[in-house]
Amino acid sequence: MTLLASVLLALLPAETLPTTDPGLESRKAAEAALTSTLKLVEQAPAKEAMAALEAASAEAMRVLGEQSLIQARLKDALATAKAETDAAKALRRLKRDLESTALDLVFAPRMESPTPEDWPAPTPVGEVAILDYPTYRLARASMQSDSQRGQNSAFWKLFNHIQSNSISMTAPVEMSYSGAKGEEAPQWMAFLYGARSIGTPGTAGEVEIVDVPAARVISIGRRGAMSERALKASREQLDAWMVAHPEWEVCGPARSMGWNSPMVADAKRYWEVQVHVRRVPQK
C-alpha cells in the first residue's frame, strides 16, 4: 500500500457496527422506571400493582426502543402475565421478571483482571453487538470432553503454564467450540496473553501458544452461571438476529468468553457468547 493510500485510509470515518444496545443512559432510565415502580407497589393491591407495573414496563420499552432485545423481553413478560388466569400468580411472575430485567439493564461486569491490548468493551447484558477483535496471542489446552473434569484439567494446565512462565492472568478466559450448528462441543480452553510481545508461538508440553488473527464476531452479553441451557438460548438469540439481518453471515466457529473466576457469585458473573461473522460479499 502506498503512503498516499495509507493516509487516505486513515482519514476515512470508522465503520459503525450494528448493535441492539440503546446506550447506557437509556438502559439507566429504563431500569429506574422499573425499580421505582417495583418499590411503590410492594404493599399495593394486586390489581393496582399490576396496572402500575404494566405502565412502568411500557415506559421502559419506550425508552429502550424497538431495536433493543430487552424491550422484546419486556413484551414477552407482559404477555405471559396477561395470559395467566390467576391474578396473584401473574403478579408474582411479572415482579420476578421485571426485577431480573432491571438488574440486567445496569449490570456492570466485575473486572478481576486486565484485558489484552486493544480489547473491545464487554457487550451489554441481554443485547447483541458486532465487535471487532485485534490480533492477540493465547495459550490453549484441549477440553477433551464437555465434562467438568475436562474443563478442570484444561484450566490447571493453563494455570500452571502461566505460573511457570511468570505470565500475568488476564480476562476473559476463552472457550472455543467445534462441530455443526446445534451440535457444538467444547474444543479448547484458552488464557489470553496481555500483549503479543509475550511468549512465542509453539508448543509447551500440553499447552499450545497461538496467534489469533483479527476477527469480527456477533456477541451477546450474559449475567449468571454459564450453563448448557443458557448457551443454547444465547445461540438462538444470535441466530434470530442473523436471520433478521441477512447482510451478515457466519464465517467461523462459536466461542464463549468468561470474565469471572469461581470466586464470584453466580448472580454477579458475566460472560459472552460469540460467533465469527462477516458481511455478505456484494455480487
Cis ω before 45 (30° cut-off from 0): no
Cell of 70: 430487552
What is the number of structural domains in the chain?
Answer: 2
Q: In terms of Cα–Cα distance, which of 279, 224, 231 is closest to 254?
A: 231
Same domain membership, residue 153 and residue 91 = no
List the domain range (segments joined by +) for residue 66: 24-105
Cβ atoms of 168 and 162 closer than 8 Å: yes
Same domain membership, residue 160 and residue 85 = no
pLDDT level of residue 147 (50, 70, 90 thresholds):
low
pLDDT level of residue 185 (50, 70, 90 thresholds):
confident
* pLDDT tens-digit readout, 70-111: 999 999 999 999 999 999 999 999 999 999 999 999 999 999
Asked if the structure places residue 4 within a domain, the reply is: no
pLDDT for 36 equals 98
Same domain membership, residue 259 and residue 140 = yes
Same domain membership, residue 237 and residue 178 = yes
CA distances from 121 to 23, 27, 64 (A): 13, 16, 20
Alpha carbon dihedral 229, 136, 129, 155, in 10-degree steps, equals 20
* pLDDT tens-digit readout, 12-57: 556 789 999 999 999 999 999 999 999 999 999 999 999 999 999 9
Alpha-carbon dihedral sign for residues 143, 224, 235, 215 = negative
- Res. 9: pLDDT tops 50: no
Same domain membership, residue 150 and residue 97 = no
Mean pLDDT for the chain overall? 92
Asked if the structure places residue 112 within a domain, the reply is: no
* pLDDT tens-digit readout, 251-277: 999 999 999 998 999 999 999 999 999
pLDDT for 16 equals 87
pLDDT level of residue 8 (50, 70, 90 thresholds):
very low
Q: What is the DSSP letter of 120?
A: P
pLDDT level of residue 182 (50, 70, 90 thresholds):
low
Q: Which residue has better confidence, 100 or 7?
A: 100
Round to whole Å and give the CA distance between 177 and 186. 4
* pLDDT tens-digit readout, 56-67: 999 999 999 999
- Res. 183: pLDDT tops 70: no
Q: Which residues does 231 contact at the CB level (< 8 Å), separation at least 6?
A: 256, 273
Same domain membership, residue 194 and residue 157 = yes
Average pLDDT over residues 100-129: 97
pLDDT for 184 equals 77
Same domain membership, residue 154 and residue 186 = yes
Q: What is the DSSP letter of 266?
A: G
CATH of the domain at 263: 3.20.80.10
Asked if the structure places residue 10 within a domain, the reply is: no
Q: In terms of Cα–Cα distance, which of 134, 179, 180, 170 is closest to 258?
A: 170
Q: Mapping DSSP to helix (H, G, I), strand (E, B) and coil, where does residue 216 land?
A: strand
CA distances from 69 to 1, 29, 168, 193, 250 (A): 41, 16, 36, 33, 20
110 phi, psi to nearest 5 deg: -80, 115
pLDDT for 258 equals 97
Round to whole Å and give the CA distance between 189 and 256. 10
Average pLDDT over residues 184-211: 94
Same domain membership, residue 250 and residue 197 = yes
Cβ atoms of 127 and 70 closer than 8 Å: yes
Same domain membership, residue 70 and residue 155 = no
- Res. 151: pLDDT tops 80: no
Helix (H) or strand (E) holding 35: helix 24-40
